[in-house]
Amino acid sequence: MARVYPGDRLASEDAVFLYLERKEMPLHIGSVSVFDGPIPFEACREFIESRLPLIPRYRQRIVAPPLNVGHPTWEPDPDFDISNHVHHAQLKRGTDAELRNFAGRLFTQMMDRSRPLWDMTIVDGLSGGRSVLISRVHHCLVDGVSGVGLLNVLLDPTLQPQSGHKNRYHAPPLPGPSASLVDALATSYSEMVERMLSAQAATLNIVQSLMSDQALRGLDQLLRLVPELLAPVERLPFNQACLGPRKVAWSEFSIPEVKKVREACGGTLNDVVLTVVTSAVRRYAELHGAPVKNRLLRLMVPVNLRREGEPNGLGNRVSMLPVSVPLDLRDPVKLLDAIRQRTEALKTARVADLIHLLATWVGATPAPLQALLDPLTSLLPVPPFNLVCTNVPGPQAPLYVLGREMLTYYPYVPIGNEMGLGCAIQSYNHKLYFGLTGDAAVVPDIDRLKRFLDQALQELRQAAGVGVAKAHRRPRPARAVRPAAVQEAPAMAEQAGARIEQPSVEHAQASVETEQPFVGIEQPVLGIELEAPALNGAGPEVVHEPAIPVSAAPGAN
């Protein structure tokens, strides 16, 4: 009888994404990465498979205990096959619009829970000889920060591919139903007691920290924001039930240019980003005839809870800040200052810690009760937020697959519960990449939001009196080294119950100021089984060809 090792049972903050998920709201995160040349399908699949020993979770599936007496566990997939997780597709026209259409339909599909919850699709035929990797991974497995760690494990820091760890995989025997039930009953009770003790300790720590002078000043500032925070969310044009397929739109900004605005106006990079997003939303609301005078935009901003130096293990370690912003502030500099004041007050008063404390107490309730109550949040009369806006710091040196450089990295964030629009931002190689997600029926003109983002940054830059920053020009080193996240690969693997050897590469990440206290949902790496019939509606633009030989792949070398 196989043993379920400690740590293999999902934590409450991870299991919640399984309990909340439904057909209309698939809860995987992901990315669309464009590379500077063709990537042979078979070679790439072997390359990804060689990295799996570094990420044992990618060979494990979720298994619910009998009678749902505890949270699901991660158990080895006895039928694991890499061809179920790495697929191939061919664009016909090769346009960016065709790629966005395909990516949106791919992100619409739910994952097959009978298999490990990740996948990657290699897309050929993009104009200019470029290739694309579309990655998905379920939110119960990673958040934005741990997703970046997986990205750095799966990709190379050099033109020369690093040697992998390919080995023959033998799944251990699985426990029987009776053993699973006994284990779930025992661990469910012990974990509930442990979570209660943890919640009590966290409560005492929060109370003590709130007694500090700095926290008291923050509470004073926070009290002035209470009317905004308690006001019910007012629906905007995109706050409708999500029933259609997903649509995506992308944009990118130069980090040096955003920094110039921040240096001129104050605040953080995140404050500048939130200002640009708010201005774009105002334009979109006015385009659709929605009044903005005396209205607030409530943003859900995920916050990374990992302490400095803490390994970026798998799972979710995030809280959130509810940032309410006046939607009728048209002066971009005044809007930036208003956002800065609000985010500073929320951070000083430790609102993210308080919200996480509440989630910790909820997580101390029995697992069956959580599984029953979590889905009821979809029955709320109004959405808790207008939209999610997440910003994740990523690697600032280029990454490669089989010698092909990753040129762009557009993140994907899931939507649902009458939040028909979401925004994810990922920094990579001295740029900020914006990934907009919308419901096709709710936000059919999502491309307009992309243009509004670009206009908002231009307007803010002009109002701040700063010129366009020179584009970052990086020398291509003769020998690069693997980014820091790879150094955490052993921690990820050990967390999943495996021992691995660290690849022989040094640590040296390019120096760039990330200064991003808000990080969270929505960053990617991998997630589902694809079948051609599942792409109904994609039309003749895309031919999905899972597991075809590279010699037969159109455009392959």
CA nearest 270: which of 202, 346, 159, 178? 346
* Averaged pLDDT of the chain: 79
Q: What is the mean pLDDT of residues 110-127?
A: 97
33 pLDDT more than 80: yes
Q: How far apart are CA 364 and CA 372, in angstroms?
A: 14
Q: Which residue has the higher pLDDT, 236 or 5?
A: 236
Instruction: Report pLDDT for 352.
Output: 87
Instruction: Report pLDDT for 355.
Output: 87
453 pLDDT more than 70: yes
pLDDT digits (tens, 9 = 90+) for 372-381: 887 877 777 7
Instruction: Report pLDDT for 557.
Output: 33
CB 39 within 8 A of CB 402: yes
CB 110 within 8 A of CB 120: no
Tokens found for residue 258: 């955003």
pLDDT band at residue 470, thresholds of 50, 70 and 90?
low
CA 266-272-274 angle, 5° bins: 135
CA 385-284-288 angle, 5° bins: 100
Instruction: Point out the least confidently predicted range of 37-46, 74-83, 380-389.
Output: 380-389
CA 25 → CA 18, 377, 554, distances in Å?
Answer: 11, 13, 34
- Looking at residue 216, its amino acid is L
Instruction: Report pLDDT for 2.
Output: 39
Tokens found for residue 446: 């999502």
Q: What is the mean pLDDT of residues 52-59?
A: 92
CB 324 within 8 A of CB 342: yes
Q: Which residue has the higher pLDDT, 90 or 313?
A: 90
- Looking at residue 250, its amino acid is W
Q: What is the mean pLDDT of residues 253-269?
A: 96
Most trustworthy range by pLDDT among 66-75, 185-194, 362-371, 381-390: 381-390
pLDDT digits (tens, 9 = 90+) for 205-249: 766 666 666 666 667 777 778 888 888 899 999 999 998 899 999
Q: Which residue has the higher pLDDT, 382 or 345?
A: 345
CA nearest 384: which of 341, 434, 322, 429? 322
Q: How far apart are CA 549 and CA 547, in angstroms?
A: 7
Q: How far apart are CA 367 and CA 15, in angstroms?
A: 9
pLDDT band at residue 503, thresholds of 50, 70 and 90?
very low
pLDDT band at residue 523, thresholds of 50, 70 and 90?
very low
CB 50 within 8 A of CB 165: yes
Q: What is the mean pLDDT of residues 264-277?
A: 97
pLDDT digits (tens, 9 = 90+) for 413-443: 999 989 999 999 999 999 999 999 999 999 9
Q: Which residue has the higher pLDDT, 380 or 409?
A: 409
Helix (H, G, I), strand (E, B) or coil at 444: coil
177 pLDDT more than 70: no
Helices then strands (H, E): number in the chain?
A: 13, 15
- The bridge status of strand 246-254 relative to strand 60-63 is unpaired
Instruction: Point out the least confidently predicted range of 14-18, 23-27, 498-502.
Output: 498-502
Q: What is the mean pLDDT of residues 57-71?
A: 86
317 pLDDT more than 70: yes
Q: What is the mean pLDDT of residues 363-379?
A: 80
| Domains, the chain, with CATH or none | 12-179+491-552 (3.30.559.10), 213-398+413-464 (3.30.559.30)
Instruction: Report pLDDT for 379.
Output: 75
CA 361 → CA 9, 284, 353, 371, distances in Å?
Answer: 18, 38, 12, 15
Instruction: Report pLDDT for 496.
Output: 41
Q: How far apart are CA 284 and CA 238, in angstroms?
A: 9
Helix (H, G, I), strand (E, B) or coil at 339: helix
287 pLDDT more than 80: yes
- Print burial letters for 452-469: b (CB count within 10 Å at least 16), e (below 16): bbbebbebbbebbebeee
303 pLDDT more than 80: yes
Backbone φ, ψ for residue 389 (5° rounding): -130, 110
32 pLDDT more than 80: yes
Instruction: Report pLDDT for 41.
Output: 97
Q: Which residue has the higher pLDDT, 96 or 468?
A: 96
Instruction: Report pLDDT for 550.
Output: 29
Residue 314: CA count within 13 A, CB half-sphere: 31
Strands (E), 270-349: 296-304, 318-326
